[in-house]
Amino acid sequence: MYTSDQEKYSNTPTSEEVIAGVELRNAKRKSRWPAYCDVAQSVTGLLLGLFLFCHMAFTSSIQLGKDVFWNLVAFSGGYVFDGEEHAWMHVALIGAITLLVIIHALMALRRFPTSYRMFHNIKSQYQFIAHRDTTLWIVQIVTAVILTGMVFPHVTPMILDPEAIGPNFSSVHTYHNGLLWTFIFLVATELHGMIGLYRLAVKWDVLAGNREALRKIMYCVVVLMIACGSMTMWTYYSNGKALVESGEPIVKYEPVNNWWK
């Protein structure tokens, strides 16, 4: 058995020793933390990607009427249990999603280019090998930067004032944010999330040998999500504009049809 690193690494194992794995227990092992971080990034990315579908279904429900959206909000607030909406349940849910976003962002920063030279190398490689997956990765970097500046202004009002989540206040909030801000946020979110799910499927070999088909499915899903989100955005904006221009005080919406009573 080797007694020191100097002695250990000064010795060149024979072929018999290599085959037998002699002294492998003394070899220096690399840290497992990069692997843990990689798994954490994948898991949080998967959860957030799936959440986008739930979020789209949730917010788009307003196109079926304010009552539908109100009832879904009430359900997430625990109204179904005792006939009372619990603001802390909204805060807990939004806080959990925000925590996933933070963890995912921190894990992803490990691979984010941090110098001009890295950016230059990426650009050179992309120009030399114009691979579509490299293009998608660059799109993810750009959208990640955009989302960094837009996610927290989006979730902070909901955490600080969860009782304002509803058809009226959410519509007014969208109106004040404007169509441009909301559309940029929508496009960046859906591109980042759907490309992330695609790259995750490729990374973990979900559909072996069918990358092209998987990429086409991803493109279709992105278009559908942005189209649905755009119609939803316009509904919120129109409702908010009507409420603001009415000149009346904005009050919490009271449903005509309460599913939970």
Task: Examine the pLDDT at 130 and tell me if it is beyond 80.
Answer: no
Q: HEC string of the chain?
A: CCCCHHHHHHCCCCHHHHHHCCCHHHCCCCCCHHHHHHHHHHHHHHHHHHHHHHHHHHHHHHHHCHHHHHHHHHHHCCHHHHCCCCHHHHHHHHHHHHHHHHHHHHHHHHHCCCCHHHHHHHHHHHHHCCCHHHHHHHHHHHHHHHHHHHHHHHHHHHHHCHHHCCHHHHHHHHHHHCHHHHHHHHHHHHHHHHHHHHHHHHHCCCCCCCHHHHHHHHHHHHHHHHHHHHHHHHHHHHHHHHHHHCCCCCCCCCCCCCCCC
Within a domain: 101? yes
Give the pLDDT band of residue 13 (cuts 50, 70, 90): low
Task: Examine the pLDDT at 128 and tell me if it is beyond 70.
Answer: yes
Structural domain total, the chain:
1
Within a domain: 94? yes
Within a domain: 13? no
Between 140 and 2, where is the model more confident? Answer: 140
Residue-wise pLDDT tens digits, 22-76: 555 555 566 788 889 999 999 999 999 999 999 999 999 999 999 999 999 998 8
- Give the per-residue pLDDT at 146: 96
Task: Examine the pLDDT at 234 and tell me if it is beyond 60.
Answer: yes
Sign of CA dihedral 134, 145, 98, 177: negative
CA distance 38 to 110: 9
Residue-wise pLDDT tens digits, 61-117: 999 999 999 999 998 888 888 888 888 999 999 999 999 999 999 999 888 878 888
Between 141 and 16, where is the model more confident? Answer: 141
Within a domain: 45? no
- Give the per-residue pLDDT at 117: 87
With pLDDT > 90 as the criterion, what percentage of the chain qualifies? 59
Within a domain: 47? no
Give residue 190's domain range: 58-245
Between 253 and 14, where is the model more confident? Answer: 253
Mean pLDDT of the chain, nearest integer: 88
Within a domain: 200? yes
Give the pLDDT band of residue 11 (cuts 50, 70, 90): low
Within a domain: 80? yes
Give the pLDDT band of residue 220 (cuts 50, 70, 90): very high
Please state the residue numbers annotated as binding site for heme b: 55, 104, 154, 192
Output the domain CATH number for residue 100.
1.20.1300.10
Task: Examine the pLDDT at 232 and tell me if it is beyond 60.
Answer: yes
Please state the residue numbers annotated as binding site: 55, 104, 154, 192
Within a domain: 31? no
- Give the per-residue pLDDT at 72: 92
Which residues fall within 8 angstroms of residue 53, CB to CB, at 6 or more apart? none
